[in-house]
Amino acid sequence: MVQFRNTRRAFIRSATQKISLLALGSQAIPALAEELEPVEELLPPEGILLEQPLAKEQIIAAKKLGIALVGLGGYAGGQLAPALQETEHCYLAGIVTGTPQKAADWKTKYNIPDKNIYNYENFDQIIDNKDIDIVYVVLPNAMHCEYVIRAAKAGKHVICEKPMAITVEECDRMIAACKDAGKMLSIGYRLHFEPYNQEMMRLGTKKIFGEIKTIEAHDGMGDTNGWRLDKKLAGGGPLMDVGIYCVQGCRYTTGLEPIAVTAVEGPKTKPEKFKDVEESLDWTLEFPGGIKAHCKTSYTKNMNLLQANAEKGWFKLSPAYPYRGQQGETSEGKMNFPSVNQQARQMDDFALAILEGRATPVPGEMGRQDVKILQAIYKAMETKKRVEIV
DSSP 29-47: STTHHHHHGGGGGGSPPTT
Contact map string, positions 234 to 273, toward ligand NDP, x by CB under 6 A: -------x--------------------------------
Burial (CB count <10 Å: 0-12, 13-18, 19+), residue 41: exposed
DSSP 8-state code for residue 336:
-
Rounded distance between C-alpha atoms, residue 146 and residue 121, angstroms: 12
DSSP single-letter state for residue 325? -
Query: Considering the rule CB under 6 A, would residue 322 count as an interface residue with ligand NDP?
Result: no
**Judged by CB under 6 A, which stretch of 98-106, 173-181, 269-277, 372-380 contacts ligand NDP?**
98-106
Q: Which of residues 115-154 bind ligand NDP (CB under 6 A)?
A: 138-141
- Residue 309 has what DSSP assignment? E
Which residue, 161 or 278, is less far from ligand NDP as judged by CB?
Answer: 161
Output the CA torsion sign for 123, 128, 365, 303: negative
115 is a catalytic site residue: no
- Compute the least distance from the CB of residue 162 to ligand NDP, in Å: 5
Sign of the CA dihedral running 105, 111, 115, 116: negative
Residue 82 vs 98, nearer CB to ligand NDP: 98
Residue 190 in the binding site for ligand NDP (CB under 6 A) = yes
Least distance in angstroms from the C-beta of 74 to ligand NDP: 3
β-bridge pairing 65-70 and 134-137: parallel
CB 269 within 8 A of CB 223: no
110 binds ligand NDP (CB under 6 A): no
Choosing from 44, 53, 73, 82, the residue that interacts with ligand NDP (CB under 6 A) is 73
* Cβ-based burial of 100 (10 A; exposed 0-12, middle 13-18, buried ≥19): exposed
> Catalytic site residue 162?
yes
133 vs 161 by CB, closer to ligand NDP: 161
Catalytic residue, from 18, 63, 156, 162: name it. Answer: 162
Smallest gap from residue 39 Cβ to ligand NDP (A): 37
Beta strands 260-265; 212-220: pairing state: unpaired
* Shorter beta-carbon distance to ligand NDP: residue 41 or 121: 121
Per annotation, catalytic residue among 189, 245, 299, 378? 245
Among 30, 38, 74, 113, interactor with ligand NDP by CB under 6 A:
74
> Which of the residues 207 through 226 are near ligand NDP (CB under 6 A)?
226
By CB under 6 A, residue 72 contacts ligand NDP: yes
78 burial level (CB within 10 Å; 0-12, 13-18, 19+) = exposed
Residue 26 found at the interface with ligand NDP (CB under 6 A) = no
Q: Strand 313-317 relative to strand 303-310: parallel, antiparallel, unpaired? A: antiparallel
Active site residues: 162, 245
Residues that bind ligand NDP (CB under 6 A): 71-76, 97-99, 102, 138-141, 161-162, 188, 190, 226-227, 241
